[in-house]
Structures are given as C-alpha cells and as structure tokens.
Structure 1
Amino acid sequence: MESCGMSAIKYILFLFNLIFAISGIGIIVAGAIVLADVGEFSHFLEGRIIAPPIVLIVAGAIVFIIAFLGCYGAVKENYNMLIAFAVALLVIFVIELAVGIAAAVFKNDFSMVMKDSLKASMMNYTEADKMAWENVQKKLECCGIDNSNDWITAKGITSNTLPDSCCKDLPVGGACHTYDIKMLHTKGCFAELEFRVQNGAKVLIGVGIGIAFVEIAGIILACYLAQAIKREGGK
C-alpha cells in the first residue's frame, strides 16, 4: 500500500514537472529574445557571444521534453525513469553551469574583442562589411565605433564623406558628410552594441539562476521518490 508521504511527494513531483515544462518554454523564449536582439549584429560579434542564447534555447527544449519523463515516472512510480529524469536534470544543470562560467570568464575581454572586430571590419570594408555597418548604424542609430570621426581614416572613405546610415532624415539622393552636424548620429556603435550584449547577458544569467534552483529541487524530489519506491518494492 502506498504511504501517505510517498503519495504526497509523487503528486508534488508531478506538479513540479508541469511547472518545469512551462519553465522550459520560458527558457526557449528568453533565449530566442536575446538571440533576436543581438543575432542580427553577428557580423561584429564572436561566436562566444552568440553561443549562450543558442545553448539556452537547446537546454529549454530538453527541459521541456524531460519534464514529461518526470511526470510519467512519478505517476507510474517507475524507479528507473525517475533516476533517468534526475540524471537528465543533473546533466542540464552542469551544462548551464559550464556556460555560465565560460560567459563570466569571457566577460572580462569581450569588450576588447568586439572593438577589435569593429575596427577590422571598418578597415577591410568589403561588401559584407558595408552591409553589416549599414544595418547596425540604421538599427541602433549610431555612427562609427566611438563616433563619426572613426570613418575619416577608414579605408575607402574620403575625408568628408560618411556612409549614408550615419545620417538621420537624409533626403533621397543626398549624401552624408562630416560637416552635417545636425543630421549625424552622435552615438558610437560600440557603446550601443555593448549595451545590447550586456542586457542580454543579464537576462540569460537571471533565467539561468532561476532554472538552476528549480532543477536542484527536481533532482532532490525525484531521488527521494525513487528511493521510496525502491524501499517499498515498486517498479
């Protein structure tokens, strides 16, 4: 006969996994939002900056799937499935921890890496670089790395002509020049990109910490129920 304690923990674990499945969807959404926010500027961002939200999306999908494994194991009181569920949660937890540590380590030098990438792109200024700069300057309403003066010494840019995207409200057929002070975007693109990435990192860290606590609780509950089933001879 099932004890009251084991019955309670079984239904608590079942409810937990329903919440866990919903949190998996939340993780996917959070990762997708961050990826959409910074992904369109991937030309200037290293893979190490783009990777965390992608990993979070994958982790969220796995969390959603294994939540059903936990629900089934709890309802059927299946020892093996509960252990498999606990191990899967532990693996996800370790992956998230590794990504978090890597992000924290890279945080110290990511600004320098991104600025170097912007400088290299501006100096090379291939067709792909041109398109990327047009996109970032239009979307973020910025000009150059720190300001419009960066274009003055850039390869292929004359002393007084700037990319059209450096100017706001540019008339059709008009050109953007260094002396068009009132029309120029005054912000540098580096600061705007850095702000976007930092905000995205805060979202990922917050979601990661929150789901880590949920995963630890799930591991403890699953192991407790699995041991209770084993003691009572359940399969």
Structure 2
Amino acid sequence: MKPLELGIIKYLLFGFNLLFAISGLGIIIAGSLVLSDVGEFSHFMEGKVLAPPVVLIVTGCVVFLVASLGCYGAIRESYKMLMAFAACLLVIFIIELAVGIAAAVYKDDFHKGLKELMRDSMDRFETSESDRIAWNNLQKKMECCGVDRSTDWPEHKRPLSCCHVPREGAPEPDEIHCWDAKPGDPILYTEGCFDKIEMKAVDSCKIILGVGIGIAFVEIIGIVLACWLASAIKKRTS
C-alpha cells in the first residue's frame, strides 16, 4: 500500500474515532435521560427494565475510552493497539446485541410482571409508607388512577392523588369527595396507571434500541477500518 493511501486510511480512522468518542458521550447522555425518566417510577419496575439504561451508560464510558485508544493507535500506527481497538469494538457490539435480545425476550414477562407488581403494591398501600409514596407520586405525575381503572381501589380507600382540580377556580377536592367520585366525575382521573407506565417504559426502550442500532453500525465501520489499517501497517513492516 502506498504511503499516501496509508495516510488517508490513518486519518480517516482518526476522524472516525473522534466522532466515535463524541457518540460515546451521546450514549451516556441518552442512558442517563432514560434512567432518570423511568427510574422515577423504579418502585414498580423490575431490574430487567432498569438494567438496559445502566448498561448503556457503562457502554458509553467504555466507548469513549476505546475511541481514545483507537485515535492513539491510528496516529502511532501501532498494529497491536489497532487490533486491540478492533477487538474491544467487537466485544461492545456483542454486549449491545445481547442487551437487545434480552429486552426482546423479556418483553412479555415485563407486561405480566409489571401488572402483578402494581397490584401487590396496591394491596400494601395502607400498611407500607414506601408503597403509599410511590402510588401518590405515580398518580399525580402520570394523571392516572388505579392499575387499569379508578375502581381498582377499594371503596373509601381511593387515594386523594386520584383526584384533581377539574377547572381553574374550582375548589380543591378533599378525601371524602375523592372517595365518593364515580367514573366520569370531572375531579377523578379516568385512565389506569398500568398503560401509562408501560408506555413510558416502551418509549424508553425505543430510545435505547435506536441508539444501540446506530452505534452498532458505527462500530462495524470502525472494526473494518482498524483491521484494514492494521493489515497495511503489518505488510509495510514485514
């Protein structure tokens, strides 16, 4: 390979790794946003749901470090460092693939498990402060009531967080009014919380999946470029 061609590949890989390092920061930011969004309702979430954004954050940190290794290896024209860089990219790619497959496999289990967790938590509402705080926070933030509907709550045990001021200037509903409210009453949230929290989890998974697919394509290009440059360096020095 001519020196000019080798130089082009070298600086192409260097430029790629700069973009790759920036993408690593992007992965960290995306994972953090997803974790903060879903983690707010972690009381109802299993570790399977919270694990992907954590893995994404860790992967972003590793990607940033690996990109730095790739930049250094390209500039130094080090065969060993470039092959180590390619191997690291391959490992990251496999981890991302495994996380994606696990998310797809646990999708149905999550649907069933989430509803069971919410119903169990509802049963403990009167006796557990953590469950009480979690439900009040969920119903206020998501503007919902009960698991599937407001009638999931036992009579005269519906939390005040199920109710809201129906219009500007209307009086704040009290506990008695919230208890007596029937489905369709303007002070009562009509939608159940299960669909809303599941949709939030699904939207978060879509973000993770989109970021993961985008980075996977970038990683494949990086592996090809690194191996190509390493091969050219080895031929030149042999």
Q: Choose the corresponding residue for 1:227, options 214, 218, 231.
A: 231
Q: Specify the alignment match of 1:104 in structure 2.
A: 104
Would the aligned equivalents of 1:38 and 1:196 in 2 still touch at CA under 8 Å? yes
Would the aligned equivalents of 2:145 and 2:189 in 1 still touch at CA under 8 Å? yes
- The structural deviation recorded for 1:161 is 4.0
The 1-side partners of 2:48 and 2:192 are apart by 23
SS of residue paired to 1:142:
coil
Residue pairs, 1:1-235, within 5 angstroms = 3-125=3-125, 126-152=128-154, 159-169=155-165, 174-175=174-175, 176-179=178-181, 181-233=185-237
The 2-side partners of 1:50 and 1:80 are apart by 37
SS of residue paired to 2:221:
helix
The 1-side partners of 2:65 and 2:2 are apart by 28
Aligned-residue identity in percent: 56
Pairwise CA RMSD: 1.6
The one-letter code sitting in structure 1 at the alignment partner of 2:199 is: F
- The structural deviation recorded for 1:33 is 1.2
The 1-side partners of 2:173 and 2:143 are apart by 20
- The structural deviation recorded for 1:231 is 0.9
Unmatched runs of 5 consecutive residues or more in structure 1? 153-158
The 2-side partners of 1:37 and 1:164 are apart by 24
The 1-side partners of 2:101 and 2:118 are apart by 26
Q: What per-residue deviation string (whole Å, max 9, x for no partner) do you get for residues 137-177 of structure 1?
A: 1110110001110112xxxxxx2341111011295682122
The 2-side partners of 1:222 and 1:101 are apart by 27
Structure 1 segments of 4+ aligned residues over 6 angstroms from their partners? none
The 2-side partners of 1:173 and 1:223 are apart by 67
The one-letter code sitting in structure 2 at the alignment partner of 1:215 is: E
The one-letter code sitting in structure 2 at the alignment partner of 1:169 is: V
The one-letter code sitting in structure 1 at the alignment partner of 2:12 is: I
The 2-side partners of 1:179 and 1:114 are apart by 27
The one-letter code sitting in structure 2 at the alignment partner of 1:166 is: C
The 1-side partners of 2:158 and 2:110 are apart by 27
| TM-score with structure 2 setting the length | 0.92
The 1-side partners of 2:233 and 2:66 are apart by 20
How many residues matched? 228
Would the aligned equivalents of 2:140 and 2:161 in 1 still touch at CA under 8 Å? yes
Would the aligned equivalents of 1:160 and 1:179 in 2 still touch at CA under 8 Å? no
Q: What per-residue deviation string (whole Å, max 9, x for no partner) do you get for residues 109-158 of structure 1?
A: 21111001001111122111001001101110110001110112xxxxxx
Identify which range, 198-207 or 167-176, moves more after superposition.
167-176
The 2-side partners of 1:71 and 1:167 are apart by 57
Distance 1:29 1:173, change over 3 A: same
| TM-score with structure 1 setting the length | 0.93
The 1-side partners of 2:83 and 2:60 are apart by 20
SS of residue paired to 1:177:
helix
- The structural deviation recorded for 1:207 is 0.6
The 2-side partners of 1:25 and 1:17 are apart by 12
Would the aligned equivalents of 1:161 and 1:178 in 2 still touch at CA under 8 Å? no
- The structural deviation recorded for 1:84 is 1.0
- The structural deviation recorded for 1:185 is 0.7
